[in-house]
Amino acid sequence: MAILRISGDEDRTTSGRRRRPLSAALMATRDVIVDLSELRFADPSLMIDLACLAQRLRAQGRTLWLSGAQPNIRTLIETVGLDRQPAVRLDGTHSAYSA
C-alpha cells in the first residue's frame, strides 16, 4: 500500500501543496492509506480532493483508506459523506502505523 500523510491545518489556501502528493498517490499500484492522525484542521476543500482521489483510484480498482482521523476530522468526513463513497474506507481513530 502507498501511504500519504496529511498533517497540520489543511484548507483552500494550502491546496497547492497537496497536488504533488495526491498525484503521487495515483501512481501507486496498490490501495492508498491516508494517515490523518496529525491533521488538526481541515475544510471541505481537502474532502473534495480526497473524494477526487478516491474516484480515480476506484476507476483503477483500488481503495482509499482513511486512517487515524481526530474526532473533528472524522465528523467532517462523515458530514460531507466522504466515508460513503464506494472506494473509501474509514477506520478507527488510531494511526495507520499502529500495530
Q: Which CATH architecture has domain 2-90?
A: 2-Layer Sandwich (3.30)
List the chain domain ranges.
2-90
DSSP 94: S
pLDDT tens readout for residues 51-71: 999 999 999 999 999 999 999
| Distance, CA of 37 to CA of 5 (rounded, Å) | 8
pLDDT tens readout for residues 75-95: 999 999 999 999 999 996 444
- Give the global pTM: 0.89
pLDDT tens readout for residues 2-48: 999 999 999 999 999 999 999 999 998 999 999 999 999 999 999 99
| Distance, CA of 1 to CA of 28 (rounded, Å) | 8
Cell of 24: 503521487
| Distance, CA of 57 to CA of 35 (rounded, Å) | 17
